[in-house]
Amino acid sequence: GTPVELGCEAEGRPPPLLSWFRGGHLLREEPVSTGLSLVLPGVEPDQAGIYTCVAENRHGRHNRSLQLHVA
């Protein structure tokens, strides 16, 4: 039930589209941004899993994933 905030930052020219995914489902997206937070207000065990931030512009795509464990 504790809130969790996941952060993601990326730079590029042109500025990237930043997106948060979990299990292939888009959770949040922000065009032309250098930072994007994903706030999970009250984390429950069913929200455990792999979360991926994707930064993409016309030059390419980069991503980072993290695994959230909920006890």
> What's the pLDDT at 3?
93
pLDDT tens digits, 13-37: 999 999 999 988 999 999 888 899 9
- Domains, the chain: 2-68 (2.60.40.10)
Write down the pTM of the prediction. Answer: 0.90
> What's the pLDDT at 32?
82
Contact 24, 63 (CB under 8 A): no
Task: Work out the burial of residue 26: count CB atoms within 10 Å of its CB; fewer than 13 is exposed, 13-18 middle, 19 or more buried.
Answer: exposed
Running DSSP on this structure, what letter comes out for residue 33? -
Region 27-51: mean pLDDT is: 93
Task: Decide if pLDDT at 45 tops 90.
Answer: yes
Secondary structure class of 50 (helix, strand, coil)? strand
> What's the pLDDT at 5?
95
